[in-house]
Structure 1
């Protein structure tokens, strides 16, 4: 059509742009909406529009009410590497809170435990999923807390008032603003998750009743990232919940240290004195070393004797005397100082007109005898 002039350039480009947008949209949505599988439809409606929430390849997403467009609400199936079960997703939508759950992993690869909440985001005017680590961001807002519908966990170890569950913590009734007491007067608060260890209600009940929980085995050190076991105990002196570690099974892992009798050091000292007493005598008894005898000289041949003399001489002395003779008579070659020119006396020793300094030791050896 473009070739025949039946389609304008502007119309053609608009159709190309529309087709491109359609392809890109389908490509983006492919792995979310069109990957086949046995996906669930949740019974709990969308918290934003009341529509139907369905599972797809990657997310739980609102598909809208029948005959209506979806509102855009969705949340990932596997936040921080942990995949929701369908029952967990149902509970999260119904109560907007779930946990504490284990099995999450940070970007650095460390495992962690956390609660998950769905909160309304004013910026997007929709609901979104967030981790809740028990920070209680709204604890200081002064908002009145109502515990009338809750059963008490136990008496506060600080002031004796009832302790209740509040958000991600167990708190004293007098530690938060209430109708009876708008201004908090107590400080008792302990988390539902401590160093990745979920602290169940029954354990806090035991702590408040007896001052100590059972041995808990899922704590993870923030410094070493190693798991450890400990009791949670109420420390009255510090006014807070602290750790108490169980004794090692079978006692210390190290064998008992060896002990020595008191007589042993005395024997050792006596032995040292005895050795010290013997040492001077041994030194006196030792005979003085005889002076080292110089080695016998080597006899030079008749040809070599004409240069250095006929007396027996050490090999090193022979080389020294030869070099003295060479330098005294200027026998080093003018262009190559490593070469030695033979004169009338040296020619019978060298056997040729010129030698190098590297040959000298070998030639001399032939002219020496014991």
Structure 2
């Protein structure tokens, strides 16, 4: 391991180690915010920085976040480049830490609050939506009953409280596919199914007669 701190140098765009055999190099500018020398040293030493202001998203929206740093490791155990991630919730698992490139869009929620929707490999996150069971922000798995949810459906769920009719859910009990709307209780954070009204036999017969 290299003790980069006394060897840390800066270029116009990066902080990096003077040791040519060391792979440490990070960008000086992160989401529109310049990382100060003291912050770079602290990040290198502690591998994490507390929440800071001054970041700007790709939608030109300011936001606050912490930073953490880790060196990538290949499947063979070879050390690779250093990677910086945003941290919005210290309780999130490292694999679920949120980054700027995971932002889908800014949303105005059903309750009027403006939030930022993120998509990770396995879930959608909305840090601004806080409930009793999720005080640090709401997490929704990307797949429900074997159906992967599209971002547009999740957007509708958070903004309106209900999705359009979604086809392709698979019942755990019968193993059969079914269609349903998803609805969201904004106070409890509970997700539920809302089924379309069943068509009666009489209505089906009348439709067949009309089509004939």
Q: TM-score, normalised by structure 2?
A: 0.43
Structure having the higher Rg: 1
With normalisation by structure 1, the TM-score equals: 0.26
Higher strand fraction (1 or 2): 2
**Which has the larger helix fraction?**
1
